[in-house]
Protein backbone atom coordinates (compact mmCIF):
# COMPACT_ATOMS: atom_id res chain seq x y z
CA UNK A 1 0.00 0.00 0.00
CA UNK A 2 1.09 3.59 -0.70
CA UNK A 3 -0.31 4.75 2.65
CA UNK A 4 -0.71 3.62 6.23
CA UNK A 5 -3.71 1.49 7.13
CA UNK A 6 -4.81 0.30 10.54
CA UNK A 7 -5.11 -3.32 11.64
CA UNK A 8 -8.84 -3.48 10.94
CA UNK A 9 -8.37 -2.23 7.36
CA UNK A 10 -5.40 -4.57 6.88
CA UNK A 11 -7.50 -7.61 7.86
CA UNK A 12 -10.36 -6.57 5.56
CA UNK A 13 -8.08 -5.94 2.56
CA UNK A 14 -6.29 -9.28 3.09
CA UNK A 15 -9.60 -11.15 3.18
CA UNK A 16 -10.87 -9.17 0.19
CA UNK A 17 -7.76 -10.16 -1.75
CA UNK A 18 -8.41 -13.82 -1.04
CA UNK A 19 -12.10 -13.57 -1.97
CA UNK A 20 -11.31 -11.68 -5.18
CA UNK A 21 -8.80 -14.28 -6.30
CA UNK A 22 -11.19 -17.11 -5.44
CA UNK A 23 -13.85 -15.48 -7.67
CA UNK A 24 -11.24 -14.55 -10.32
CA UNK A 25 -12.34 -10.89 -10.10
CA UNK A 26 -9.82 -8.11 -10.65
CA UNK A 27 -10.65 -5.97 -7.61
CA UNK A 28 -9.65 -2.46 -6.57
CA UNK A 29 -10.19 0.08 -3.82
CA UNK A 30 -11.00 3.37 -5.56
CA UNK A 31 -12.14 6.95 -5.18
CA UNK A 32 -12.34 9.09 -2.06
CA UNK A 33 -10.76 6.56 0.30
CA UNK A 34 -7.61 6.39 -1.82
CA UNK A 35 -7.55 10.18 -2.24
CA UNK A 36 -7.99 10.88 1.46
CA UNK A 37 -5.44 8.29 2.57
CA UNK A 38 -2.85 9.70 0.16
CA UNK A 39 -3.53 13.14 1.63
CA UNK A 40 -3.04 11.76 5.13
CA UNK A 41 -6.70 12.14 6.07
CA UNK A 42 -8.72 9.52 7.91
CA UNK A 43 -11.48 7.81 5.93
CA UNK A 44 -14.05 5.24 6.97
CA UNK A 45 -15.90 4.94 3.63
CA UNK A 46 -14.28 2.42 1.29
CA UNK A 47 -15.42 1.98 -2.32
CA UNK A 48 -14.58 -1.39 -3.88
CA UNK A 49 -14.81 -1.98 -7.63
CA UNK A 50 -14.80 -5.54 -8.96
CA UNK A 51 -14.55 -6.52 -12.60
CA UNK A 52 -17.38 -8.93 -11.95
CA UNK A 53 -20.29 -8.92 -9.50
CA UNK A 54 -19.83 -6.47 -6.66
CA UNK A 55 -22.71 -8.16 -4.83
CA UNK A 56 -21.11 -11.61 -5.08
CA UNK A 57 -17.80 -10.22 -3.80
CA UNK A 58 -19.53 -8.54 -0.84
CA UNK A 59 -21.34 -11.75 0.08
CA UNK A 60 -18.11 -13.73 -0.11
CA UNK A 61 -16.31 -11.26 2.12
CA UNK A 62 -19.16 -11.23 4.65
CA UNK A 63 -18.98 -15.01 4.96
CA UNK A 64 -15.38 -14.87 6.25
CA UNK A 65 -15.62 -11.76 8.45
CA UNK A 66 -16.18 -12.19 12.18
CA UNK A 67 -18.70 -11.43 13.43
CA UNK A 68 -20.54 -12.05 10.16
CA UNK A 69 -21.99 -8.68 9.07
CA UNK A 70 -25.24 -8.04 7.26
CA UNK A 71 -24.92 -7.41 3.54
CA UNK A 72 -27.33 -4.73 2.34
CA UNK A 73 -27.96 -5.40 -1.36
CA UNK A 74 -29.29 -2.88 -3.88
CA UNK A 75 -29.92 -5.16 -6.83
CA UNK A 76 -31.42 -2.40 -8.97
CA UNK A 77 -28.06 -0.59 -8.86
CA UNK A 78 -25.86 -3.68 -8.66
CA UNK A 79 -24.30 -2.52 -5.40
CA UNK A 80 -23.90 -3.86 -1.88
CA UNK A 81 -22.97 -2.34 1.47
CA UNK A 82 -21.20 -3.86 4.48
CA UNK A 83 -20.70 -2.07 7.81
CA UNK A 84 -17.95 -3.62 9.91
CA UNK A 85 -16.05 -2.25 12.93
CA UNK A 86 -16.70 1.39 12.07
CA UNK A 87 -15.98 1.01 8.34
CA UNK A 88 -18.51 1.22 5.50
CA UNK A 89 -17.58 -0.81 2.43
CA UNK A 90 -19.57 -0.25 -0.75
CA UNK A 91 -19.17 -2.79 -3.55
CA UNK A 92 -19.98 -2.30 -7.22
CA UNK A 93 -19.14 -4.06 -10.44
CA UNK A 94 -16.97 -2.10 -12.88
CA UNK A 95 -19.20 -0.30 -15.33
CA UNK A 96 -19.36 2.20 -18.13
CA UNK A 97 -21.98 4.89 -18.43
CA UNK A 98 -23.68 6.97 -21.09
CA UNK A 99 -26.10 9.85 -20.63
CA UNK A 100 -29.13 11.44 -22.28
CA UNK A 101 -29.11 15.22 -22.64
CA UNK A 102 -32.15 15.68 -20.39
CA UNK A 103 -31.05 13.52 -17.46
CA UNK A 104 -28.07 12.98 -15.17
CA UNK A 105 -29.14 9.36 -14.61
CA UNK A 106 -26.75 7.19 -16.61
CA UNK A 107 -27.41 4.20 -18.84
CA UNK A 108 -25.17 1.61 -17.22
CA UNK A 109 -23.39 -1.40 -18.75
CA UNK A 110 -20.80 -3.81 -17.41
CA UNK A 111 -17.29 -2.56 -18.11
CA UNK A 112 -13.61 -2.74 -17.31
CA UNK A 113 -11.63 -0.89 -14.65
CA UNK A 114 -10.65 1.61 -17.35
CA UNK A 115 -14.34 2.19 -18.17
CA UNK A 116 -15.01 2.74 -14.46
CA UNK A 117 -12.16 5.23 -14.12
CA UNK A 118 -13.36 7.16 -17.20
CA UNK A 119 -16.74 7.74 -15.53
CA UNK A 120 -15.16 9.32 -12.42
CA UNK A 121 -15.63 13.04 -11.85
CA UNK A 122 -12.04 14.14 -11.18
CA UNK A 123 -8.55 12.74 -11.63
CA UNK A 124 -7.97 12.68 -7.88
CA UNK A 125 -11.07 10.48 -7.52
CA UNK A 126 -10.07 8.10 -10.34
CA UNK A 127 -7.12 6.58 -8.48
CA UNK A 128 -7.35 2.81 -7.93
CA UNK A 129 -5.25 0.38 -5.91
CA UNK A 130 -5.25 -3.30 -6.74
CA UNK A 131 -6.29 -5.80 -4.08
CA UNK A 132 -5.41 -8.94 -6.05
CA UNK A 133 -2.49 -10.96 -4.74
CA UNK A 134 -0.59 -10.82 -8.04
CA UNK A 135 -0.15 -7.02 -7.83
CA UNK A 136 -1.45 -6.18 -4.36
CA UNK A 137 -1.09 -2.46 -3.56
CA UNK A 138 -0.28 -1.36 -7.13
CA UNK A 139 -1.57 2.09 -8.08
CA UNK A 140 -3.53 2.41 -11.33
CA UNK A 141 -3.48 6.09 -12.28
CA UNK A 142 -4.35 6.68 -15.96
CA UNK A 143 -5.02 10.43 -15.59
CA UNK A 144 -2.05 11.55 -13.45
CA UNK A 145 -4.32 11.94 -10.44
CA UNK A 146 -1.36 11.46 -8.08
CA UNK A 147 0.37 14.42 -9.70
CA UNK A 148 -2.80 16.50 -9.35
CA UNK A 149 -2.94 15.55 -5.67
CA UNK A 150 0.64 16.72 -5.21
CA UNK A 151 -0.05 19.98 -7.08
CA UNK A 152 -3.43 20.51 -5.36
CA UNK A 153 -5.41 20.60 -8.61
CA UNK A 154 -9.05 19.76 -9.37
CA UNK A 155 -9.24 18.49 -12.96
CA UNK A 156 -11.65 16.26 -14.88
CA UNK A 157 -10.33 12.99 -16.37
CA UNK A 158 -12.09 13.65 -19.68
CA UNK A 159 -12.76 16.90 -21.52
CA UNK A 160 -14.50 18.97 -18.78
CA UNK A 161 -17.49 19.90 -20.94
CA UNK A 162 -18.36 16.22 -21.36
CA UNK A 163 -17.84 15.45 -17.67
CA UNK A 164 -20.08 18.33 -16.56
CA UNK A 165 -22.66 17.96 -19.30
CA UNK A 166 -23.09 14.26 -18.50
CA UNK A 167 -23.60 14.90 -14.79
CA UNK A 168 -23.94 18.62 -13.96
CA UNK A 169 -23.81 17.96 -10.20
CA UNK A 170 -20.08 17.46 -10.75
CA UNK A 171 -19.79 21.24 -11.21
CA UNK A 172 -20.81 21.77 -7.60
CA UNK A 173 -18.62 18.88 -6.51
CA UNK A 174 -15.62 20.56 -8.17
CA UNK A 175 -16.29 23.70 -6.16
CA UNK A 176 -16.92 21.75 -2.97
CA UNK A 177 -13.67 19.77 -3.29
CA UNK A 178 -11.78 22.97 -4.02
CA UNK A 179 -13.12 24.48 -0.77
CA UNK A 180 -12.71 21.30 1.30
CA UNK A 181 -9.17 20.49 0.20
CA UNK A 182 -7.81 23.99 -0.53
CA UNK A 183 -7.19 22.90 -4.14
CA UNK A 184 -7.23 25.10 -7.25
CA UNK A 185 -9.64 24.26 -10.07
CA UNK A 186 -7.62 23.76 -13.27
CA UNK A 187 -8.17 26.55 -15.84
CA UNK A 188 -10.12 24.63 -18.50
CA UNK A 189 -12.19 22.92 -15.83
CA UNK A 190 -13.01 26.31 -14.28
CA UNK A 191 -14.00 27.77 -17.66
CA UNK A 192 -16.32 24.82 -18.23
CA UNK A 193 -18.13 25.57 -14.95
CA UNK A 194 -19.25 28.89 -16.44
CA UNK A 195 -19.90 27.55 -19.93
CA UNK A 196 -22.06 24.63 -18.81
CA UNK A 197 -23.64 26.23 -15.71
CA UNK A 198 -27.17 26.09 -17.15
CA UNK A 199 -26.96 22.29 -17.17
CA UNK A 200 -27.42 22.48 -13.39
CA UNK A 201 -31.14 23.00 -14.10
CA UNK A 202 -31.61 19.25 -14.74
CA UNK A 203 -30.34 18.36 -11.25
CA UNK A 204 -32.85 17.92 -8.43
CA UNK A 205 -32.90 20.51 -5.66
CA UNK A 206 -32.25 17.78 -3.10
CA UNK A 207 -28.92 16.90 -4.74
CA UNK A 208 -27.96 20.55 -5.22
CA UNK A 209 -28.72 21.35 -1.60
CA UNK A 210 -26.75 18.31 -0.45
CA UNK A 211 -23.65 19.82 -2.07
CA UNK A 212 -24.41 23.32 -0.75
CA UNK A 213 -24.64 21.94 2.79
CA UNK A 214 -21.26 20.25 2.37
CA UNK A 215 -19.80 23.54 1.15
CA UNK A 216 -21.34 25.24 4.18
CA UNK A 217 -19.48 22.83 6.46
CA UNK A 218 -16.02 23.55 5.02
CA UNK A 219 -13.54 25.54 7.10
CA UNK A 220 -14.04 28.65 4.90
CA UNK A 221 -17.39 28.45 3.09
CA UNK A 222 -16.70 31.77 1.34
CA UNK A 223 -14.28 29.97 -1.01
CA UNK A 224 -17.13 27.89 -2.43
CA UNK A 225 -19.62 30.76 -2.58
CA UNK A 226 -17.17 33.04 -4.38
CA UNK A 227 -16.51 30.30 -6.93
CA UNK A 228 -20.22 29.77 -7.44
CA UNK A 229 -20.68 33.52 -7.81
CA UNK A 230 -17.81 33.93 -10.29
CA UNK A 231 -18.98 31.03 -12.47
CA UNK A 232 -22.65 32.12 -12.51
CA UNK A 233 -23.87 29.02 -10.66
CA UNK A 234 -24.95 30.96 -7.59
CA UNK A 235 -27.32 33.09 -9.70
CA UNK A 236 -29.11 29.88 -10.72
CA UNK A 237 -29.23 28.45 -7.20
CA UNK A 238 -29.49 31.37 -4.77
CA UNK A 239 -30.26 34.55 -6.74
CA UNK A 240 -31.31 36.18 -3.45
CA UNK A 241 -27.70 36.03 -2.26
CA UNK A 242 -26.36 37.35 -5.58
CA UNK A 243 -28.61 40.42 -5.23
CA UNK A 244 -26.56 41.40 -2.18
CA UNK A 245 -23.61 42.11 -4.49
CA UNK A 246 -22.66 45.64 -5.48
CA UNK A 247 -22.41 49.13 -4.05
CA UNK A 248 -24.66 52.11 -4.89
CA UNK A 249 -23.59 55.74 -4.44
CA UNK A 250 -25.73 58.83 -3.88
CA UNK A 251 -24.14 62.23 -3.14
CA UNK A 252 -20.81 60.46 -2.94
CA UNK A 253 -22.02 58.14 -0.17
CA UNK A 254 -21.91 54.39 -0.69
CA UNK A 255 -22.87 51.41 1.47
CA UNK A 256 -20.71 48.34 1.97
CA UNK A 257 -20.96 45.42 -0.45
CA UNK A 258 -23.37 43.20 1.45
CA UNK A 259 -22.43 40.10 -0.56
CA UNK A 260 -18.81 40.10 0.57
CA UNK A 261 -19.85 41.21 4.05
CA UNK A 262 -22.19 38.21 4.25
CA UNK A 263 -19.43 35.81 3.22
CA UNK A 264 -17.15 37.31 5.85
CA UNK A 265 -19.84 36.79 8.50
CA UNK A 266 -20.30 33.21 7.28
CA UNK A 267 -16.56 32.53 7.63
CA UNK A 268 -16.53 34.13 11.07
CA UNK A 269 -19.33 31.81 12.22
CA UNK A 270 -17.58 28.81 10.65
CA UNK A 271 -14.52 29.68 12.71
CA UNK A 272 -16.39 29.23 16.00
CA UNK A 273 -19.23 26.75 15.33
CA UNK A 274 -19.92 23.54 13.42
CA UNK A 275 -23.68 24.20 13.56
CA UNK A 276 -24.90 23.96 9.95
CA UNK A 277 -28.07 25.94 10.69
CA UNK A 278 -26.18 28.75 12.41
CA UNK A 279 -24.12 28.97 9.22
CA UNK A 280 -27.34 29.20 7.19
CA UNK A 281 -28.49 32.01 9.49
CA UNK A 282 -25.20 33.80 8.78
CA UNK A 283 -25.72 33.43 5.02
CA UNK A 284 -29.29 34.76 5.20
CA UNK A 285 -29.06 37.33 8.00
CA UNK A 286 -28.97 40.31 5.59
CA UNK A 287 -30.87 38.63 2.75
CA UNK A 288 -33.53 41.39 2.62
CA UNK A 289 -31.16 44.35 2.39
CA UNK A 290 -31.66 44.76 -1.39
CA UNK A 291 -35.43 45.05 -0.90
CA UNK A 292 -35.19 47.48 2.03
CA UNK A 293 -32.34 49.69 0.79
CA UNK A 294 -33.14 53.41 0.82
CA UNK A 295 -31.10 56.60 0.69
CA UNK A 296 -32.31 59.19 3.18
CA UNK A 297 -31.04 62.75 3.09
CA UNK A 298 -29.10 63.49 6.22
CA UNK A 299 -28.89 59.80 7.17
CA UNK A 300 -27.33 58.08 4.19
CA UNK A 301 -28.15 54.50 3.29
CA UNK A 302 -30.68 52.66 5.44
CA UNK A 303 -32.06 49.11 5.47
CA UNK A 304 -34.99 49.56 7.83
CA UNK A 305 -36.91 46.37 8.50
CA UNK A 306 -34.49 44.04 6.72
CA UNK A 307 -34.55 41.77 9.78
CA UNK A 308 -38.32 41.20 9.64
CA UNK A 309 -38.47 41.05 5.82
CA UNK A 310 -35.52 38.65 5.79
CA UNK A 311 -37.19 36.38 8.34
CA UNK A 312 -40.28 36.28 6.10
CA UNK A 313 -38.08 35.22 3.16
CA UNK A 314 -36.49 32.26 4.97
CA UNK A 315 -39.40 29.77 4.55
CA UNK A 316 -39.61 30.49 0.82
CA UNK A 317 -35.87 29.92 0.35
CA UNK A 318 -35.94 26.74 2.44
CA UNK A 319 -38.96 25.46 0.51
CA UNK A 320 -37.28 26.03 -2.86
CA UNK A 321 -34.05 24.35 -1.77
CA UNK A 322 -35.93 21.42 -0.20
CA UNK A 323 -34.35 22.22 3.16
CA UNK A 324 -36.25 21.03 6.24
CA UNK A 325 -39.28 23.14 7.14
CA UNK A 326 -39.29 22.00 10.77
CA UNK A 327 -37.57 23.46 13.84
CA UNK A 328 -34.35 23.96 11.85
CA UNK A 329 -36.05 26.44 9.53
CA UNK A 330 -37.72 28.11 12.53
CA UNK A 331 -34.31 28.42 14.19
CA UNK A 332 -32.78 30.14 11.14
CA UNK A 333 -35.83 32.38 10.82
CA UNK A 334 -35.60 33.36 14.49
CA UNK A 335 -31.91 34.30 14.26
CA UNK A 336 -32.49 36.36 11.10
CA UNK A 337 -35.35 38.16 12.83
CA UNK A 338 -33.40 38.83 16.05
CA UNK A 339 -29.91 39.52 14.70
CA UNK A 340 -30.26 43.32 15.15
CA UNK A 341 -31.66 43.16 18.68
CA UNK A 342 -28.36 42.79 20.59
CA UNK A 343 -26.84 45.43 18.30
CA UNK A 344 -29.64 47.86 19.13
CA UNK A 345 -29.02 47.30 22.85
CA UNK A 346 -25.45 48.56 22.41
CA UNK A 347 -26.78 51.88 21.07
CA UNK A 348 -28.98 52.79 24.03
CA UNK A 349 -29.14 52.65 27.78
CA UNK A 350 -29.78 48.98 28.44
CA UNK A 351 -33.04 48.62 30.38
CA UNK A 352 -34.03 45.49 32.27
CA UNK A 353 -37.19 45.39 30.14
CA UNK A 354 -35.23 45.26 26.86
CA UNK A 355 -32.94 42.56 28.26
CA UNK A 356 -35.93 40.52 29.49
CA UNK A 357 -37.53 40.68 26.07
CA UNK A 358 -34.36 39.47 24.37
CA UNK A 359 -34.02 36.61 26.86
CA UNK A 360 -37.66 35.68 26.32
CA UNK A 361 -37.57 35.89 22.51
CA UNK A 362 -34.20 34.15 22.02
CA UNK A 363 -34.68 31.40 24.61
CA UNK A 364 -32.22 28.52 24.24
CA UNK A 365 -30.83 30.09 21.06
CA UNK A 366 -29.43 33.16 22.84
CA UNK A 367 -25.80 31.97 22.75
CA UNK A 368 -26.06 31.22 19.03
CA UNK A 369 -27.63 34.63 18.43
CA UNK A 370 -24.77 36.36 20.24
CA UNK A 371 -22.29 34.26 18.24
CA UNK A 372 -23.92 35.49 15.02
CA UNK A 373 -23.85 39.09 16.25
CA UNK A 374 -20.15 38.89 17.11
CA UNK A 375 -19.50 37.41 13.65
CA UNK A 376 -21.41 40.33 12.13
CA UNK A 377 -18.63 42.73 13.20
CA UNK A 378 -16.62 43.01 9.97
CA UNK A 379 -15.39 46.60 10.10
CA UNK A 380 -11.83 47.21 8.90
CA UNK A 381 -11.49 49.98 11.51
CA UNK A 382 -9.75 48.45 14.58
CA UNK A 383 -11.05 51.13 16.96
CA UNK A 384 -14.61 50.60 15.79
CA UNK A 385 -14.30 46.82 16.18
CA UNK A 386 -12.88 47.29 19.68
CA UNK A 387 -15.80 49.58 20.61
CA UNK A 388 -18.40 47.17 19.19
CA UNK A 389 -16.91 44.22 21.05
CA UNK A 390 -16.77 46.17 24.31
CA UNK A 391 -20.46 47.05 23.89
CA UNK A 392 -21.31 43.40 23.26
CA UNK A 393 -19.46 42.37 26.40
CA UNK A 394 -21.61 44.85 28.32
CA UNK A 395 -24.80 43.42 26.77
CA UNK A 396 -23.73 39.87 27.57
CA UNK A 397 -23.00 40.80 31.16
CA UNK A 398 -26.44 42.39 31.52
CA UNK A 399 -28.05 39.30 29.99
CA UNK A 400 -26.34 37.15 32.61
CA UNK A 401 -27.41 39.46 35.45
CA UNK A 402 -31.06 39.70 34.39
CA UNK A 403 -31.28 35.97 33.68
CA UNK A 404 -29.95 35.17 37.15
CA UNK A 405 -32.42 37.52 38.84
CA UNK A 406 -35.53 37.04 36.68
CA UNK A 407 -35.10 33.54 35.17
CA UNK A 408 -36.64 34.75 31.90
CA UNK A 409 -34.99 32.22 29.58
CA UNK A 410 -37.80 30.14 28.00
CA UNK A 411 -40.16 31.79 30.47
CA UNK A 412 -43.93 31.44 30.16
CA UNK A 413 -46.44 33.76 31.85
CA UNK A 414 -47.85 32.35 35.14
CA UNK A 415 -51.41 32.68 33.80
CA UNK A 416 -52.23 30.26 30.99
CA UNK A 417 -54.96 30.51 28.39
CA UNK A 418 -56.77 27.68 30.17
CA UNK A 419 -56.88 29.65 33.43
CA UNK A 420 -58.30 32.68 31.58
CA UNK A 421 -61.01 30.59 29.86
CA UNK A 422 -62.01 28.83 33.10
CA UNK A 423 -62.12 32.10 35.05
CA UNK A 424 -64.37 33.94 32.59
CA UNK A 425 -66.20 30.99 31.03
CA UNK A 426 -64.66 31.69 27.62
CA UNK A 427 -63.88 29.49 24.67
CA UNK A 428 -60.67 29.97 22.66
CA UNK A 429 -61.02 33.51 21.36
CA UNK A 430 -59.31 36.82 20.69
CA UNK A 431 -60.17 38.03 24.21
CA UNK A 432 -58.18 35.14 25.73
CA UNK A 433 -55.15 35.96 23.57
CA UNK A 434 -55.41 39.69 24.38
CA UNK A 435 -55.48 39.06 28.15
CA UNK A 436 -52.59 36.61 28.01
CA UNK A 437 -50.51 39.03 25.89
CA UNK A 438 -51.24 41.94 28.23
CA UNK A 439 -50.06 39.91 31.25
CA UNK A 440 -46.90 38.87 29.42
CA UNK A 441 -46.09 42.43 28.32
CA UNK A 442 -46.68 43.86 31.80
CA UNK A 443 -44.27 41.35 33.35
CA UNK A 444 -41.65 41.89 30.64
CA UNK A 445 -41.92 45.67 31.11
CA UNK A 446 -41.39 45.27 34.85
CA UNK A 447 -44.83 46.72 35.66
CA UNK A 448 -46.11 43.46 37.16
CA UNK A 449 -44.48 40.96 39.51
CA UNK A 450 -43.68 37.60 37.95
CA UNK A 451 -45.87 35.51 40.26
CA UNK A 452 -49.23 33.79 40.01
CA UNK A 453 -51.24 35.83 42.52
CA UNK A 454 -50.20 39.21 41.10
CA UNK A 455 -50.86 38.02 37.55
CA UNK A 456 -54.24 36.55 38.54
CA UNK A 457 -55.42 39.82 40.09
CA UNK A 458 -54.16 41.72 37.05
CA UNK A 459 -56.15 39.31 34.85
CA UNK A 460 -59.33 40.04 36.85
CA UNK A 461 -58.79 43.79 36.42
CA UNK A 462 -58.30 43.35 32.66
CA UNK A 463 -61.45 41.24 32.46
CA UNK A 464 -63.55 43.86 34.25
CA UNK A 465 -62.27 46.58 31.87
CA UNK A 466 -63.30 44.35 28.95
CA UNK A 467 -66.76 43.76 30.42
CA UNK A 468 -66.06 40.13 31.37
CA UNK A 469 -67.56 38.49 34.45
CA UNK A 470 -65.58 35.96 36.49
CA UNK A 471 -67.61 32.74 36.79
CA UNK A 472 -65.45 31.08 39.46
Task: Please say which residue of 151, 180, 205 terminates a domain.
Answer: 151
pLDDT digits (tens, 9 = 90+) for 323-378: 999 999 999 999 999 999 988 787 667 777 888 888 888 988 999 999 999 999 98
- The C-alpha atoms of residue 375 and residue 261 are separated, in whole angstroms, by 10
Cis previous bond, 18, omega within 30: no
pLDDT digits (tens, 9 = 90+) for 270-329: 999 999 999 999 999 999 999 999 998 878 899 999 999 999 999 999 999 999 999 999
Q: Within this chain, do residues 146 and 159 fall inside the same structural domain, yes or no?
A: no
- Please say if the pLDDT value at position 405 is more than 90: no
Q: Which domain holds residue 135?
A: 7-151
Contact 270, 285 (CB under 8 A): no
Contact 202, 102 (CB under 8 A): yes
CATH of the domain at 42: 3.30.460.10
Task: Please say which residue of 219, 237, 255 terminates a domain.
Answer: 237
Buried b (16+ CB within 10 A) or exposed e, 258-296: bbbbbbbbbbbbbeebebebbbbbbbbbbbbbbebeeee
Q: Within this chain, do residues 132 and 157 fall inside the same structural domain, yes or no?
A: no
Confidence class for position 102, pLDDT limits 50, 70, 90: low
Residues in the chain: 472
Over range 195-202, report the average pLDDT.
96
pLDDT digits (tens, 9 = 90+) for 132-183: 999 999 999 999 999 999 999 999 999 999 999 989 999 999 999 999 999 9
pLDDT of residue 159: 95
Domain count, the chain: 3
- The C-alpha atoms of residue 247 and residue 227 are separated, in whole angstroms, by 20
Contact 460, 467 (CB under 8 A): no
CATH of the domain at 169: 1.10.110.30
pLDDT of residue 308: 97
Q: Is 27 part of any domain?
A: yes
Q: What is the pTM of this model?
A: 0.86
Q: Within this chain, do residues 118 and 166 fall inside the same structural domain, yes or no?
A: no
Over range 249-272, report the average pLDDT.
92
Residue of 329, 271, 332 whose CA lies nearest to 307: 332
Q: Within this chain, do residues 48 and 181 fall inside the same structural domain, yes or no?
A: no
Q: Is 328 part of any domain?
A: no
Task: Please say which residue of 106, 133, 151 terminates a domain.
Answer: 151
Q: Which residues contact 155 (CB under 8 A, 6 or more apart)?
A: 122, 123, 124, 143, 148, 185, 186, 189
Contact 180, 220 (CB under 8 A): no
Residue of 109, 62, 116, 110 whose CA lies nearest to 89: 62
Q: Is 77 part of any domain?
A: yes
- The C-alpha atoms of residue 19 and residue 56 are separated, in whole angstroms, by 10
Q: Is 116 part of any domain?
A: yes
- Please say if the pLDDT value at position 12 is more than 70: yes
- The C-alpha atoms of residue 382 and residue 386 are separated, in whole angstroms, by 6
- Please say if the pLDDT value at position 253 is more than 90: no
Over range 18-27, report the average pLDDT.
97
Helix (H) or strand (E) holding 294: strand 294-296
Q: Within this chain, do residues 193 and 228 fall inside the same structural domain, yes or no?
A: yes
Q: Is 397 part of any domain?
A: no
Residue of 411, 433, 407, 408 whose CA lies nearest to 420: 433
Amino acid sequence: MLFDIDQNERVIFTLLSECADKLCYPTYVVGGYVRDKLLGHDSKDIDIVAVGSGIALAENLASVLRPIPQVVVYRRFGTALIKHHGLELEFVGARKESYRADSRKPIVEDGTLEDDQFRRDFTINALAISLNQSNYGALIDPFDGLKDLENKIIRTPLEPGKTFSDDPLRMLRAIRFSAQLDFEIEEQTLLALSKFRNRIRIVSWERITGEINKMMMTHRPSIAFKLMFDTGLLELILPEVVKLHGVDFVDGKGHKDNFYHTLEVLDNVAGVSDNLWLRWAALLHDIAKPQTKRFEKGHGWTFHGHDAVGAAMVPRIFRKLKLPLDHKMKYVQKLVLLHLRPISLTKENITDSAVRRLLFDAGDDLEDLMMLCHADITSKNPRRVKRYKANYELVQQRLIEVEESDKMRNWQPPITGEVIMNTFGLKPSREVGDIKSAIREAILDGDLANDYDAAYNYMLDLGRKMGLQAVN
